[in-house]
Structure 1
């Protein structure tokens, strides 16, 4: 009977498929954990569809003050590769690795980067979180040249963890590095359009040191490199006086800090608020900085728009 033959054929095909090598599934993808959203974007670009990525500190999240969750510990325990920024950015990571029992390889994305010294010339009120960057500035991704080092380190770590994916990882990295070259050219061109005497602005915390050194613009912050330190009245007063004396055109809000401090500085100094820029975290996918490249494009657009026109 035709129906019987069809049934037998289907059963035979099912047996063959059951014993055949399975196609790549989500379960077979390399489980990778990245510590925070910007780093997660780098890992996603290089890893592509060969990895199952978990990012611990998500969009608009502040890694300085993050408290890991049980779900984070579970992701760490199941990972084959953990990618961290290093430079003591994730002060909670060592404890999380230990408490989760993670056996994964830990790759430090900033390996090979020359760190900047942290600017600790601030009279801060400490909150007692115990977060210490050890005298270095961890925000190395703000220089696109450093982002290229991140990508190369991530590529090499993925190849080591998953040698069969080497061609994929290398091709993805090459494609993405070309995109980074293009966005850095945009940043440099935008800075060049800002008059030299207007290349100064105020941000909430000192997250742009690498950007400053690489691209020739000055950011002044009442807080240090960590958002855990509250700016003192002395710091705020000093910056307000500096804005007035040097006619600094704009102050910028950040997505990971409370806007009230910057709003107060703008009100008391007369500087305009130049918009919101992204320092330590991406926006969500619907926002203007859902990827690292989108973040850099958005930031430089806001900076050029606010500074090129001069003081308010």
Structure 2
């Protein structure tokens, strides 16, 4: 009897240990962060803010990296193959993405951040002054840079929060609360920028940039952006094209001239500044954030930087 009692107690202890281990592993699995791949740095930052400690984010096209010429490698293939969620911009911005998805075998949840925004139409590709260097794929002449309007950024945030909540319903409340606070911050900044720029006389709200990446910003905040023809990271205008650019800028009555952090067009812009007498306003961030330790290293930081540069350069 005594031996039997010991045996029964031993079996009970074993069952308790097994149950405890199962609970431990179940808790560990529940607490494991959602593996998310974001296509470029703006989306990577947004996912980090909204996902917090409940997500593990990697970004395919990192900060200070030219999105125009990006070509996925085996490294990106592996990153996407291991992901549960893919967050993309859509609107034809990532012309390389369908090939990568197919090659990686990704079968998780895709969140298209721009879903629901009203796309801006670009001028015909026949008009060289509006070619922006992107492969728009099936989207045709749609401007993909929708994040350059904070009202659209708010829609991006809601789409990301809803997608994360769908794949990880246990943390739905956290995703929605972070998104709510984030949207409030965007709304406050949106109103501030709009008010400050509208205080500048309309005829002075005209600036020249390297490519057509700020159309949404212009529509939202009352600034006319004049893109320079043919300038991208892998091409520069001929002497004849340069003469046409100078003529276009003079006719446009632009007030300031801006480089973009990923275009590699600084030398050309310096020549244009000399030939036109335009004030050089510095660098704007269009398709990529700055490194994380810089003022433009976050989405909201990028907006503050860009708006501040433009405002400083066009104020009378």
Give the TM-score range, shorter chain: 0.7 to 0.9
Task: With the length of structure 1 as denominator, give the TM-score of the two structures.
Answer: 0.86
- Residue 261 (1) aligns with residue 268 (2): yes
Change over 3 Å in CA distance of 1:234–1:85 after alignment to 2: farther
Gaps of 5+ in 2: 1-13
Change over 3 Å in CA distance of 1:57–1:27 after alignment to 2: farther
The Cα of 1:242 is off from its aligned counterpart by 3.7
Match of 2:245 among 217, 234, 239: 239
Change over 3 Å in CA distance of 1:158–1:212 after alignment to 2: same
What does residue range 2-151 of structure 1 map to in structure 2 within 5 Å? 20-21=23-24, 28-119=32-123, 120=125, 121-122=127-128, 132=137, 134-151=140-157
Matches of 1:115 and 1:301, distance apart in 2: 25
Gaps of 5+ in 1: 1-11
Matches of 1:293 and 1:162, distance apart in 2: 26
The Cα of 1:186 is off from its aligned counterpart by 1.9
Change over 3 Å in CA distance of 1:224–1:147 after alignment to 2: farther
The Cα of 1:202 is off from its aligned counterpart by 0.4
Matches of 1:161 and 1:306, distance apart in 2: 45
Q: Per-residue CA shift, 1:202-257, capped at 9, x if unaligned?
A: 00010011111111110101247976675565554333224334542210010110
Q: How many residues of Structure 1 are paired with residues of Structure 2 in the alignment?
A: 297
Matches of 1:225 and 1:263, distance apart in 2: 13
Task: With the length of structure 2 as denominator, give the TM-score of the two structures.
Answer: 0.85
SS of the counterpart of 1:64? Answer: coil
Is the 1:32–1:51 Cα contact (8 Å) retained in structure 2?
Answer: yes
Matches of 2:238 and 2:132, distance apart in 1: 10
Change over 3 Å in CA distance of 1:152–1:124 after alignment to 2: closer
- Residue 283 (1) aligns with residue 290 (2): yes
The Cα of 1:130 is off from its aligned counterpart by 6.1
Which has the greater radius of gyration?
A: 2
Change over 3 Å in CA distance of 1:100–1:48 after alignment to 2: same
Matches of 1:32 and 1:112, distance apart in 2: 21
Is the 2:231–2:237 Cα contact (8 Å) retained in structure 1?
Answer: no
- Residue 252 (1) aligns with residue 258 (2): yes
Matches of 1:236 and 1:192, distance apart in 2: 32
